[in-house]
Structure 1
Amino acid sequence: MSDFTGLVALVTGGASGIGLATAKLLSGRGATVAALDLKPEGLPDDIFGVQADVTDDAQVQAAVETVVERFGRLDVVVNNAGIGAVGDVTANSDDEWARVLDVNVIGMVRVARHAVPHLRRSPAAAIVNTCSIVAWAGVQQRALYSASKGAVYALTLAMAADHVREGIRVNCVAPGSADTPWIDRSLRHTADPVAARAALDAFQPTGRLVTADEVAGAIAYLASPLSSASVGTVLAVDNGMHGLRLRPPARD
């Protein structure tokens, strides 16, 4: 498939996990891809790395301009950069609340702010934000993270309404528990990481975590010109975790 041929895509958080999987997929489907990351290292040769911290507006502006100057246009933005947080509402300090919201929400705003003027000139402009099912599903020990992703959900709908008549489609994906480096780091802090991973897998309706490639596939669908009627869409990629209510497996 070559539905992205001739298009230039910018993927934030593009050096690892879902971001890297997305960058590789878009490149494989014909896009010219730039990966924006704090440490854009070890990228495949066909992906252009650009260093920037999404909490720094000047760095974001410079990164977007670098991509446009190098490739002459910008058509697709994947707002994927984000960080996690664990704990109930009593657990995280004001500083951590500010840091997570700055990365997960305002970071997307900064990228979009500087990308939109260029996207307005594209015949196939699309923004895809990485949300999460915790934006609307109550999950224990995720108060701060859930609040940030709830804001991403609302932001996506507002952006979609603001820019649809400019020819810019805005949508988001909502992964469930995804097999990413963040999950690995979180499990390392548990008393028994192997048992914790087994319990996490067992909690999923399919018995396993979502893969980065599966989320990337959903992002590519929403970013593609082939989904030109999808606007303000929230696409869950969660193994059925939110929508299904399964009975416990029968015991022997």
Structure 2
Amino acid sequence: MNEPLRPRTALVTGSARRLGREVVLALVAAGWNVAVHYRGSAPDAAKTVDDARKAATGGAQVELFQADLADEAQTRALLPQVIERFGAVDAVVNNASLFEHDSVDSFGYEALAAHARTNTGAPVLLAQALHHHIAQRKLAAGAGVVVNLLDQKLWNQNPDFLSYTLSKAALEAANTMLAIALAPQLRVVGVAPGLTLTSHMLSDDKFEQLHALSPLGRSSTVGDVVAAVKFALDNQSITGTTLIIDGGQHLMKFERDFSLM
């Protein structure tokens, strides 16, 4: 079935700030319509939308959507809202992530459940919804795509941020299962950055030192990660695998998380 020519549309979760924001700006500059999702960062989300509209090309449109992805009902309602606004959706970039510290000593069911809802459950539900939407449109194989943002620490494990790591490991496993279950309508691809952006837990000097700890002498930049996301969205032959974008950091052994080194 051939649909009228129109810009492709992507939902980018957790895109008010940081890496999600940069994915939004890159996609609208490439002519994509983008649904900017946020949970609680309303001022930042509004600024991202404003900046994205200025950067948009080819008539690309940008709209704002709020949802708490820890809430199953709100998560299930999100993609239908985006479809209602844009008419159709072609891709979901699962960038939203809960990242709170725990260890084997402080681990408990509550922390694990909180991370699993946002970091694992929500991406699976959104993939499910996109698959149903794409199947209804009777498009060609691979017409829809889900990109899951993962973490190089899955290939270079340490015991810090235990619940976060477990939730991302489950999402990485879901990459394979979803790629099989949702084919041929949907492709599912992981993108796993290394140390890319600093945080309140790292000084600028410490960030630079840690960023250089890789076989290539540098970890991933925002541009590297965004380019990988765009590649995953565009390449019709990739599914069920993960692109590790980290300068080779996963090949080195780190006993602690970067933020605690």
Q: Give the structure-1-normalised TM-score.
A: 0.83
Verify: 1:37 aligned to 2:24, yes or no: no
Aligned partner of residue 37 in structure 2, secondary structure: strand
Distance 1:91 1:99 in 2: 14
Distance 2:126 2:71 in 1: 10
Checking the alignment, whether the CA contact within 8 Å between 1:60 and 1:114 is kept in structure 2 is no
- Residues 93 and 244 of structure 1, relative CA distance in 2, 3 Å threshold: closer
Match of 2:98 in 1: 83
Q: Residue 35 of structure 1: CA displacement?
A: 1.1
RMSD: 2.2
Q: Residue 87 of structure 1: CA displacement?
A: 4.3
Distance 2:88 2:98 in 1: 29
Match of 2:179 in 1: 160
Checking the alignment, whether the CA contact within 8 Å between 1:54 and 1:111 is kept in structure 2 is no
- Segments of 5+ residues of structure 2 without an aligned counterpart are 54-61, 254-261
Match of 2:80 in 1: 65
Checking the alignment, whether the CA contact within 8 Å between 2:9 and 2:34 is kept in structure 1 is yes
Match of 1:218 in 2: 228
Q: Residue 16 of structure 1: CA displacement?
A: 1.3
Aligned partner of residue 47 in structure 2, secondary structure: coil
Checking the alignment, whether the CA contact within 8 Å between 1:164 and 1:231 is kept in structure 2 is no
Distance 2:233 2:208 in 1: 34
Q: Residue 153 of structure 1: CA displacement?
A: 0.8
Checking the alignment, whether the CA contact within 8 Å between 1:54 and 1:110 is kept in structure 2 is no
The aligned runs of 1:36-55 (5 Å cut-off) are 36-38=37-39, 39=41, 40-45=45-50, 46=53, 47-55=62-70
Aligned partner of residue 81 in structure 1, secondary structure: coil
Checking the alignment, whether the CA contact within 8 Å between 1:76 and 1:125 is kept in structure 2 is yes
Distance 1:88 1:199 in 2: 25
C-alpha offsets along residues 137-196 of structure 1, whole Å, 9 cap, x if unaligned?
22352322221211111001100011122x2111110111121xxx41333xxxxx3553
Residues matched between the structures, number: 231
Checking the alignment, whether the CA contact within 8 Å between 1:18 and 1:213 is kept in structure 2 is no
Verify: 1:200 aligned to 2:204, yes or no: no
Match of 1:95 in 2: 110
- Residues 105 and 69 of structure 1, relative CA distance in 2, 3 Å threshold: same
- Residues 142 and 61 of structure 1, relative CA distance in 2, 3 Å threshold: closer
Verify: 1:171 aligned to 2:189, yes or no: yes
Checking the alignment, whether the CA contact within 8 Å between 1:134 and 1:149 is kept in structure 2 is no
Checking the alignment, whether the CA contact within 8 Å between 2:36 and 2:49 is kept in structure 1 is no
- Segments of 5+ residues of structure 1 without an aligned counterpart are 188-192, 246-252
Match of 1:190 in 2: none
Q: Residue 99 of structure 1: CA displacement?
A: 1.1
Distance 1:164 1:99 in 2: 29
